[in-house]
Structure 1
Amino acid sequence: MNPGVIGAGVMGLGIVRSLLRGGFVTHVRDVDPAREALAHARGARIAGAPAELGAHADVIFIVVLDAAQIDDVLEGPGGLMPVLGPGKTVLVNSTIAPGDTERFAARVCSTGAAFVDAPISGGPARAEAGTMSMMLAAPDAVLAAVDPMLRAVSDKRFVIGTRAGDAARAKLVNNLMAGIHLIAGAEAMALAMRLGLDPRQMSELIRVSSGQSWMFDDRMPRALAGDFEPRAQAHVLTNDLTLANAAAADAGVELPLGAVARDLLRATCDAGWRNEDDAAALKYYARRFGVHMPG
C-alpha cells in the first residue's frame, strides 16, 4: 500500500519524512507550493489536487488545520470524495470537534472506504522522528491493515476504541491539559521576573522540581531565548481550548481552568501574536505584569 499526506505543515511534513524513512512511496498535496517543495526535496511525489493524490494513494493522512479545510479536501474542487471507495483508508489527524469527526467518518464510509479517527500530539520534532503520540479510533481490522504505516509515524499509539469521535475527544482532553500547563508556566515565569528573580535560573529550577511539565520544558526555554518561531501557532491552541470547552458544555459541565486558559490565549492572539508560537503567552504575561522579557 502507498500512503498520501494532505497537508505538509509542521506536523504533516514530519509524517511525510517518517513514511519515506520507512520505505513507503509517499504522495503529498499542500496548498502552499513551498511546503510541497520541501516534501519533494525529501523524495515525496507531489499531487496537483486531493483527487489526484487519492488516485495514487491507498492510505490518506489528512493533516490540515480545521474542519473547514477537511470539508474542502473532501468535497472542494478536486476533492477526494469521487476517488474514495473500497480499498481506500482515510485518517484524519487534525484536532477537530468530535461531531465533525463523526460527520467526516459517515461521509467517507458511505463510499465504501475505511475511516480512522487519528489525532496526533508531540510537536514537529517528534513527528519527524516518528515518535509522536497518536490516538486512534476505528475497527480493529481497519487498524490492523494500516498498522505498518502507523508504526512508521508514531511509537506511542493509543487505541481509544472503535467509535469515530472518541480519539478526537481524547485529544481535546490532552490539549486542555497542555493549554492549562502553558498558561501556568507563563504566569509563573512572569511572576518570577516581577519578583526580581533570574528567569533562566527559575526555568532550570522548575524543570527539575515539582512544577515541571512537558509544556513548560518545551515552551519556556524557547520563550526566554526570544525564539517564537511557530512550532504550534498561538491561534491553534486557542482553537483547541475553544473546542475542549465546547465539548465540556455538550457534556453538561464547565471547565473553570480551561475557560481561563482559553481566554488568556485569546488575549495573547489579540495582542498581535496569534501567528507566533504559543510560547508567546509569556510575552502577554510580561506586558501585563510590566516586566521586560530577557534580552
Structure 2
Amino acid sequence: MHSNEVASTGWDRVGVAVAGLGSMGLGMAASLLRAGADVTGYDPDPNKREDFAALGGKVAVSSVEASRGATLVVSVVVDAGQTEALLFGDEGIATVMAEDGVFISCATMAPDRARRMAARLEATGRHYLDAPVSGGARRAADGSLTILASGTEQAFARAAPALDAMSATLHRLGEAPGEAAAFKMVNQLLAGVHIAAASEAIAFAAREGLDLHRVYEVITASAGNSWMFENRVPHILDGDYRPLSAVDIFVKDLGIVLDMGRASSFPAPLASAALQLFIMTSAAGMGRDDDSSVARLYARIAGLDLSL
C-alpha cells in the first residue's frame, strides 16, 4: 500500500525522527506525517524547524532530543561527513535511539563510507539501512521518491512503513550496506552528465538564434531528450535558479565518482568533464544555486540571454 493508505495503527509504538529538514527532508517528514507517523524533526536552522512545525510536526532543539528512543531515524543530511557526525559526533545519536532501532541513511556517499558507518552502528545493536533517494524536492513532498536501499532483512522489515510513506518505488538492492550507495553513484554520474549536456545544448540553441521554448518542445519529443533536459530546462527558460538541487551537490557527487574510478583504475572522462563544469559554475559564485546554473555559465561565457 502507498503512504496515503497506511493506517495510523501501523505506527503504534513507532517513534520516527527526521534529521535534516531542508528541501528534501521537509518533504519526506511531511509524507511521514500524512501516513500517520509520530514524527519529531530536527534541523540546525530554526527557520526550517518552524516550517515543519507549521505542517503539524513536532520539533526538537537537538538531534539527540529528536532521536532519543526513536525506533526509526531518517537522516537527510548532505553527505557522509554530516552523517558520521550525526551518528558518532560529540552529540551523536547512535546510542540514544531505540535499541534494535533502524537508522535510514539517505545521504549520497561513497560505498566504503556507508559500509564503515554501518559496521560501527550495528556493533551497538542498531541497524543501518543504506537508503539514498532520487526524485527531487517535489517528489519528496508528495511521497513519490525512488529509494535505493540495501540492508538486512530485519532493517527492511522495521523500516517498511517509513519507506512506503516516502516512496513510490523502492529498489531492494541486497543485504550489505554500501550496495545502494554504489547504485546511487551510477545514477549521479548519469544525472550530472545529463545536466551538463542539457545546459550545453540549450546554450548552443541560443547561439544559433533558435526559439528556446520551441527547442524545448521539439527535444522533449525527440530522441535527444533526457529526464534532466525535460526537468531542468524550464528553470533555465524561466530564469529561476532557486536551488531545488544545488550546483555544489554535483561538485560533491561527481567528485565521489572520480575518486571511486581512480581507486579502481576506471576511466570516467565524461564524468570528469561534467565535474569541471560544475566546479567552474561554483567558482563563478553559483554553487548554492540550482544545478541548472551550468547553463548560466555557458551564457556568461558566450554572451547569451537564455530567459527569452
TM-score by length of 2: 0.93
Matches within 5 A, 1:106-125: 106-125=119-138
Aligned residue for 2:55?
42
Query: Is the CA contact 1:17–1:42 (under 8 Å) kept in the aligned structure 2?
Result: yes
Structure 2 distance, partners of 1:44, 1:294, is 38
CA drift at 1:85: 5.5
Check conservation: 2:88, 2:94, Cα contact below 8 A: yes
Map 1:1-295; keep pairs closer than 5 Å.
1-84=14-97, 86-295=99-308
Judge conservation of contact 2:71–2:97 (CA < 8 Å) in 1. no
Structure 1 segments unaligned to the other structure (5+ residues): none
Shift of 1:10: 0.6
Which whole-Å CA distance do the structure 2 matches of 1:285 and 1:10 have between them?
27
Shift of residue 78 of structure 1? Answer: 2.7
User: Contact 1:228–1:276 (CA<8 Å) still a contact in 2?
Assistant: yes
Separation of aligned partners in 1, 2:56 and 2:119:
33
**Is the contact made by 1:49 and 1:79 (CA closer than 8 Å) also made in structure 2?**
no
Residues 103-162 of structure 1 show CA distances to partners (whole Å, capped at 9, x for unaligned) of 211121111001100000100000011111100000122202211111000011101111
Cα distance in structure 1, aligned partners of 2:179 and 2:284? 34
Instruction: Find the counterpart in structure 1 of residue 3 from structure 2.
Output: none
- Which aligned segments of 4 or more residues in structure 1 are displaced greater than 3 angstroms? none
**1:77 Cα offset (Å):** 3.6
User: Aligned to 1:133, what secondary structure does the other structure show?
Assistant: strand
Given that 2:16 and 2:39 are in contact with CA atoms closer than 8 Å, whether structure 1 keeps it comes out as: yes
**2:10 maps to which residue?**
none
CA distance in 2, matches of 1:169, 1:24: 30
- How far apart are 1:271 and its partner, in Å? 1.0
Q: Output the CA distance in 2 between the equivalents of 1:26 and 1:285.
A: 43
2 CA distance for matches of 1:293 and 1:146?
A: 45
Q: Distance in 2 between matches of 1:141 and 1:66?
A: 25
Q: Distance in 2 between matches of 1:90 and 1:82?
A: 11
Give the paired residue count.
295
The CA distance in 1 between the partners of 2:307 and 2:64, in whole Å, is 49
- Partners of 1:83 and 1:182 lie apart in 2 by 40
